[in-house]
Structures are given as structure tokens and as C-alpha cells.
Amino acid sequence: MTVLETRPAPAPAGRPDPQADRGSRRWWILAVLGIAQLMVVLDSTVVNIALPHAQTSLGFSDGNRQWIVTAYSLAFGSLLLLGGRLADDFGRKRVFLAGVIGFAVASAVGGAATGFGMLVVARAVQGAFGALLAPAALSLLTTTFPDPKERGKAFGIYGGIAGAGASIGLLLGGVLTEYLDWRWTMYVNVVFAVAAAVGGALLLAPHMKGELRQRIDKLGTVLACSSMFAIVYGFAHAATKTGSAGWSDLQTLGFLAGGVVLLIAFVVTERRVAHPLLPLRVLTDRNRAGAYVATFLSSVGMFGVFLFLTYYLEATLGYSPVKTGLAFLPMTAVLMVSAGLGNTVLLRRFSPRALVPAGLMAVAVGMVLLTRIDLQASYVAVILPSLLVMAVGFGLVFAPCFSLGTLGVRAHDAGVASATINVSQQIGGSIGTALLNTIATGVAATFVAAHVGGATPAALVAVQAAVHSYIVVFWIGAAIFAGAALVVGPMLRGGRLPMDSDDVSAVAVHA
């Protein structure tokens, strides 16, 4: 049995301990970190609703529209591991504040964009600073709440924010676009950032001079960033093509193959260097590995809810952007309650092996219920029950996984462990968007080919085809979550976590 130390080193004699000094303020720190996390997460959806309006305003083509989303994903996904290591080496407060301020500036530039190029560059810079911000925030949460009882509550709230951010983004994006202007979907980040920056500057403990700073693993950094860039770009490029053409495209295949080769080279390198970017000890613990896999697979399937259900509500049922956002609001509320209970109550009484797979299966059931949609489905009778069941499941997955993914790591590895969770989310989301979109377009095209030319008007056939494709995607999403439960269950340990101890620094790690 190996015991890993997660508690910061005691302060030298005569120097106040920053950990103790901020004890009475830790819940305010949680609020600051939650605001920052919400800003990063909702940015993945708040801009999506505004894209058609931005396209009209700036005059760019449909083919270029996807780059507004892809530019952010590429920078964010490829730089996360580096951002996590920089937080560990140069101070989490410094990196957090740099990420928040840089994100705000990039958002302001994006909101003031006068052309397509300016907006794309702003989105890429947003992603780069988000890659600094996200792992720094999660690692700060880990070190701010060393007490196991409070840690459970904190991670429950934080995980609820992370899971609900996408649906909050839909509502906020709809309100801003409909009642103000698409540019406010960018400007609103400045409001969040100012609150997070001021709160962080006042509440977070300063970087201690005695903290360990290691040499940056330059080769590992290049391999990690290049592999993540290639993989995210490969899936994003596949999503731009119609049907299965994207997967046979040479550019898609080249980037995906190159990304896999670079990833293998990265793993080999990390086994040999003295100060690796991602120490493999972070991945060898069963609970952490299971949390990363669960987060990855959940992110693959989760986009089947937000992407295609949004299409269904707006294009088929005729909901406005604001009404669509409101439709997801009950899901957001239940998810946050479920996340809090999952971390504070259930994770104390049940093992991760029981809790996380149960959450994954609940989401699978919710997606199966969602397959009952038709051309005029009732929100109350069909859609709402499905969203509520999925919300319970998502809460039981994301909050415990955020906690498990950083539990038991050495203090100096907290940032990179946090980055690994974010990488799992980002890569999973990229795969989910490309894969499910490809399946949906292929299914819709097949449906149209089989039914066009009959007595049914072509316009109605197109609507029926779209609904049919959504149903197929929901079935596949259910299969992904059910499969994830079967895969993750054996990876996680049986037995309850040592959550009742007053010393969270002693976390047993075994095979």
C-alpha cells in the first residue's frame, strides 16, 4: 500500500499558514472558482445560439461558421495539460488570475470583432487562457478543501456547476441574443471575469516561495499539445463533412492517425523523463483512471442531449432561443441537487463502483425515454421526465468524478490531475459532436431517400427525417452510457472512500 501526500507542507516557523488563514473564507473561494468554471463551461454553448446572428452581422460563410467553435476547442484542448503543469510550477493563484484576465480581454475583443478573422483569433485566445484557468481552478479547489467532509460538499457544488454550465449557456445565449445582441454572448464573460479576478486576488493565498518548481518537460509539452491538437482537429474536420465522407477524408484520417502516434510517443516519453508533464502515477490509481474514463465517455454521449435536443426544440417544435433555454432549466436545477447529494451523502455510503455506474445507467434510461419524441411531442409528458432522469444521472457522475479525479494526488500534481479531467471532457465532447453529427446526417439522408417522391410533401419528409435522426442518436447515446457503466464499474474500487477521517492527506492507493 502506498500513501500519497495531498496536504500542503506546513508553513515555516514565524510565517502564517495560508491554508489556515483562508479557512474562514474557503466558501467564498468556492464561489469565485465556481464563477470562473461557469464562465469556461457555458462558453461552449452560449456562443452557439448566437452564431447565425454573428454570421449575418460579419458576413462569413456557412463553411467558416464552424471555425468559431473549433478555434476555441483546438486551443483549449491542446493546451490543457501544459496549463495544469504551469499552475503546479508557477503558482495556482498566478495562473488562475492570468487565465481569468486573459479570457476577459479575449472575450471583449471577440465581442468587438469587425470581421471573421478577428472573431476566430479571439476565440482561439479565449481557449488558450481557458486552458490556464480551468485546471488552476480545480486544483485550487482541491487544496482549499482538505477536510473530507467539506471537500465532498465543495466538489458537489463545483461538479454541479460543471454539469449544468452547458444548459445555462443555452438559456443565457438565448436571452442575450434575443433581447440584446449576439456580441453580448462574448461581452458577458467580462462580467464573470471581473468578479472572479477581484475575488481571486483578495481571497486566494499567495504563491509560497518554498513550493517546488520543476523544469518544464519541453518534449512532453510539444508531444502532448500536438497530439491533442491533431485529435481535436481531426474530429472537428470530420464533423464539417456530410454523412460518412468526413471519416474517409484524407485530412481527417491523417490528423487522427498523427494524433494517436504523437500520443503514444508522449506516453513513452513520460516514462523516461525526470520531470514529466503528466506523471503516469496520476493515471495508475484505479479510482482516478475510472473517473477520467467516465468523464470522457459521458462527454461523448452528453452532446446527444444538448446538441440534438436543441435542434429538435427549435427546428421541429418551433421554440424560440429563450424558450429552449428555459426548457433545460429544470434539468439544471435537478443536476445541481443531484451532484450535491452525490458527493456529500451517497459517496459516503456507497462505493464509487456502485455510485458512478448507477449515474451512467440513469442517463441511459433518460435517453431511452427521450426516444419517444415525434413531430408534436409534449414537453411535460415526454421531454421533461427524460431531462429530469438524465439530470439525476449526470449529477451522480460528474461531481464524484471531479472529486475522484484529484483525490490522493501529490500536492504538486493537483494541477495536472485537474487538467486531465478537463482533457477527458474536451476530447470526449469533440468525438461526440463529430460522431453523433455524422450518424444523424447519414440517418436523415437515408430516410429522405426512402420516403421522397411519395404522397408525403418533401418538406414534411425532411422534418420527419430530422426527428428520426434525433431518435437514432438518442438510442446510440443510451448505448454509450450503458456501455460506459459496464466499462467503468470494474475500474473503480469497491468499498467506501475514507471520507470520515479528519486527515485527507492519507489516501490509500493500491492496485
Position 508 scores a pLDDT of 30
Q: Please, what is the end-to-end C-alpha distance for the chain in angstroms? A: 9
What local confidence, expressed as pLDDT, does residue 427 receive? 82
**Cα atoms in the Cβ-side hemisphere of radius 13 Å centred on 192:** 28
Amino acid in the structure at residue 465 = A
Residue 185 lies in a domain: yes
**The C-alpha cell that represents 42 in the structure block:** 457555458
In a domain? residue 450: yes
Domain membership flag for residue 3: no
Domain that holds residue 331: 23-206+217-492
- The letter for the amino acid at 414 is A
- Asked whether 278 and 410 are in contact (CB, 8 A), the reply is no
What does pTM read for this prediction?
0.79
Residues with pLDDT less than 50, the chain: 1-22, 209-211, 499-511
Q: Are 304 and 473 in contact (CB under 8 A)?
A: yes
How high is the pLDDT of residue 498? 57
**Is residue 38 in a domain?**
yes
Give pLDDT, residue 382: 93
CA distance 42 to 24: 29
Q: What does the alpha-carbon distance between residue 49 and residue 172 come to, in Å, rounded to a whole number?
A: 9
Which pLDDT tens digit goes with each residue over 335-380? 888 888 877 777 778 888 888 999 999 999 999 999 999 998 999 9
Q: Which residues contact 192 (CB under 8 A, 6 or more apart)?
A: 35, 36, 38, 39
pLDDT of 10 reads 42
Can you give the pLDDT at residue 501? 38
Quick: pLDDT tens for 371-399.
999 998 999 999 999 999 999 998 888 87
Q: Does a structural domain hold residue 505?
A: no
14 domain residue, yes or no: no
Can you give the pLDDT at residue 207?
57
211, part of any domain: no
Domain total of the chain? 1
Q: How many Å apart are CA 132 and CA 87, to the nearest integer?
A: 7
**Residue 441 domain-assigned?**
yes
* pLDDT tens figures, 447-505: 888 887 777 788 888 889 989 999 999 999 999 999 999 999 888 877 666 544 333 33
The enclosing domain of 265 has a CATH number of 1.20.1250.20
